[in-house]
Every structure is written in structure tokens, then in C-alpha cells.
Amino acid sequence: MENFAVIDLGSNSVRMTISRISNDGTYDTVAEEKQYVRLSENMGAEKILQPDAIERTIEALKGFKEIYSKLDHLTIRAVATAAVRQATNQKQFLKRVKSDIGIDLEVISGTREAYYDYVGVSETLPATNGVIIDTGGASAEIILVQNGKVSNLISIPIGSVTLSSKFDLADEVSATEVFKAMIFVNKIFQSVWWLRNGLNLPIIGLGGSNRTLAKINRRFNNLLNTNDIHGYQLRDDSINETFEKIISMNREERKKVPGINKERADIIVGGLIPVILLMNYLDSDRIMFSTSGLREGILFERLHDIIQTNIKKKEQS
């Protein structure tokens, strides 16, 4: 038996999932934790992690440590994504995490992040042909899946925090700034040569901003278990209508919308622009939502390794 903790330090939040893995490769979820830390806040053009953001992150990790340190047979896999990946003071931050928390934080590449997203989705949802988009705080990962396999994948520096900051979308938004943001993102999509191969394919959305779309819709339709969105689908007209309403509101008004976390009210406009434009760019008429992504992809990789090790042991005995 092994307690396997996966820590995912993103640009907007840090999350932890602890799974108890049996010797036969089956598992149960022991704990799930999330803290909003806004690690990418005010990084600026110099891409420097700011002291306040670092302190928030360290405090969140200390809280996680209080939970996993009580477990035996513990294995920790801690990864950091776009904010730390881009940071010019990355080394100093990693040393701080090591000294204060005692864990080695692994900075994974954008393509590795995208691959783990694919694994997490493909192991839990039908994803034979489609385009996966994971919109985070400082980046978006896009994966083209054809015939059940990864055809192409990419990580691009457009996220909910970065777009909202760059185009002043945190509070009341002007038509000019929304237009500038959309042109900016659309040009990036046009530069990805293989993306048009996903024309008319369904889109699978993950990441906090995309999941918020599903939560808003489920609340609006009074569906039970509003947070149970794994596999939930929406048509493009519903998504466009929701976006139209959100951009007409200021930050305080967005906080009152059922389904929007108050911590996300100032970055939700920037967070929704990539998926809105991707659906339009690929002429896709529907989206399916996934709650499985990076952390689940790492877990499934671990399960596969355990199963393969057990097979080898049996062959050698």
C-alpha cells in the first residue's frame, strides 16, 4: 500500500490530491485540497515572482504538509507549471520551497503538462477524436487527439490571470479591450499550424475557468450536484450567451453569479476568452467538461508503473 500525494502548483491555485494505492493497482482518493495563491500575480514583463505571492504559496504548502505528514508509506510528486516555469527567480523560489517545506518541486515543461492533461482526460472520458484545452492562470495547453492518440500538443502563454492583467479585464471591461484580447489570442491560434486539423471536432475543457462555465449553467438550470461536471456537455450557443452576460458585468456583479467563485471574479473574462475563440476557430458546436487533468494524469502514470512492476515481479518468480 502507498499513499501517493500529487501537488500541482499552478499560476492561480495550488492543489493536492492524495490517493491510497493498493498493491494490485486500485486506488481510493484520501484527500483533495485547493488554495488560491495567485502565484503569477504582478509578475510583469520581467517575470519575477512577487514576495506576497511567494508567501501565500508557502503558507498553502505548509497547510498541505500538515495533512500528508500524518500518513505512512508516503510518496510525493510535486510539480509546478507556467508561473514557476516562466519566473526569472525560479531557482530562489525552489530553494525556498525546499528549505521551508522539505519537498523537491519539479518544474515541468508545457508539453509535459499538456501530455498529463491528455492522460487524465483519456483515462476517464471518451476522447477518441477531439481537442482538449486546459486554461490555467498563465498558460493554456491544447491537445489534438485523433483516433485515440495524441496527434499534436502545445502550451501557449495565454491564461486567465495573464490575459485579464494584460487587457484590463478584471473589473468593468470595455469593448476595445475585449476586442484587443480576442485579436491577440486569435493570432496565436492562427500560428499553430496543426490546429485546423481539429475542425468540427468536439472540445474537452478543463481548468478552473472552463469548469466555471459548466457550473454556471448547472446552477442556472437548477441541476442537482452542481459541481459534478465531469462529462457534462454544453452547446456553443449556451456558452456564447453566458460569456455575453459575464462581460456586461463588473467584478462585484460577477461575484454574485451562482457558479463563479468570488476568488475568480476578476479573472473569469480573461479565462473564458481562449475557449470561446477556440470553439469559434474550429467551428465546434459543443464542449465536454473534465475534472480530470494534470494531477490525475500523474496518478495514472504512477498506477501504470506499479502494475508493470508487479508484472515483472511475477515473471521473475
- Which of 102-111, 129-138, 216-225 is the least confident region? 216-225
Distance of CA 288 to the CA centre of its chain: 15
| Cβ atoms of residues 268 and 259 within 8 Å | no
Check whether 298 has a pLDDT greater than 80. yes
Check whether 225 has a pLDDT greater than 70. no
Check whether 69 has a pLDDT greater than 70. yes
Instruction: Please name the residue that has the C-alpha cell 478552473.
Output: 208
| Cβ atoms of residues 267 and 161 within 8 Å | yes
Residues 6, 201: Cα–Cα separation, whole Å: 31
At residue 310, the pLDDT reads 78
Task: State the average pLDDT for the chain.
Answer: 94
Q: pLDDT digits over 179-195, tens only? A: 999 999 999 999 999 99
At residue 47, the pLDDT reads 94
At residue 306, the pLDDT reads 84
At residue 226, the pLDDT reads 60
Q: Which three cell numbers, joined as nine digits, stand for 46?
A: 520581467
At residue 23, the pLDDT reads 83
At residue 144, the pLDDT reads 98
Residues 212, 104: Cα–Cα separation, whole Å: 31
Q: pLDDT digits over 127-168, tens only? A: 899 999 999 999 999 999 999 999 999 999 999 999 999 999
Give percent of the chain with pLDDT exceeding 70.
98
Check whether 317 has a pLDDT greater than 90. no
Question: Which domains can be identified in the chain, with CATH numbers?
Answer: 2-110 (3.30.420.40), 125-291 (3.30.420.150)
Mean pLDDT of 111-120: 97
| Cβ atoms of residues 164 and 208 within 8 Å | no
Predicted TM-score (pTM) of the model is 0.94
> What count of Cα atoms within 13 Å lies in the side-chain half-sphere of residue 277?
24
| Cβ atoms of residues 192 and 142 within 8 Å | yes
Residue that wins the pLDDT comparison between 218 and 101 = 101
Contacts 24+ apart (CB under 8 A), 172-180: 172/250, 172/251, 173/247, 173/269, 178/247, 178/269, 178/273
Check whether 224 has a pLDDT greater than 90. no
Q: What are phi and psi of 148, to 5 degrees?
A: 80, 10
Q: Which three cell numbers, joined as nine digits, stand for 305?
A: 508503473
Give percent of the chain with pLDDT exceeding 90.
88
Q: pLDDT digits over 237-251, tens only? A: 999 999 999 999 999
